[in-house]
Amino acid sequence: MRATRCLMSDLVAAEKVLIEKYGGNIQLAAGSTPRKFKLIALNNRGPGAVVHTEVHTVRETDPCAIMAGKPAIEYIEKKRHLPYACWHAHGDFFEALYRVSGTARIYSRGKPVDRSDVWADASRMNNCEC
Ligand SMILES: [Zn+2]
């Protein structure tokens, strides 16, 4: 993430929203260059942390069992709790930063995060337990 046209103090002010909403679990971390940042989860099982779900094939069901109504392939889901902020937390931060700084611009993966609802990317919203 990168923020331009704002001050580091604006980022810190916006972080207060995260501290209140996510019980202090989500924190602003400075990136490698000025105004680069990331939002991290101090406790990867705490509020606002990313939960990545992987679906694995366990085994194919015996044909006789399929005839009896069992699913043809058995799956299990494995959840990995990651030390990063979920997209909800990012959205809360983006909105807070835009309130704090009227001139701020935010970039995620090189693309601008619009002041409108563009940050609410549905594909990223399911990776948590919010
Ligand atoms: Zn979330």
CB 50 within 8 A of CB 84: yes
Predicted confidence at residue 68, as pLDDT, reads 84
Q: Cα(80)–Cα(49) distance, rounded to whole angstroms?
A: 10
Query: Could you tell me the distance, in angstroms and rounded to a whole number, from the CA of residue 130 to the centre of ligand 1?
Result: 4
Q: How far is the CA of 66 from the centre of ligand 1 (A)?
A: 37
Residue 118 has pLDDT above 60, yes or no: no
**Residues recorded for the chain:** 130
Instruction: For residue range 23-41, list pLDDT tens digits in order.
Output: 999 999 987 777 799 999 9
Global pTM value: 0.80
Distance 126 CA to ligand 1 centre (A): 7
CA distances from 15 to 27, 29, 67, 119, 121 (A): 7, 10, 56, 17, 21
Q: What is the distance in A from the centroid of ligand 1 to the CA of 28?
A: 16
C-alpha 95 – ligand 1 centre gap (Å): 15
Q: What average pLDDT does the segment 8-27 reach?
A: 94
Question: What six digits make up the tokens of 70?
Answer: 């069992």
pLDDT in tens, 63-114: 887 888 887 787 888 899 999 999 899 999 999 999 999 999 999 888 888 8
Contact 37, 29 (CB under 8 A): yes
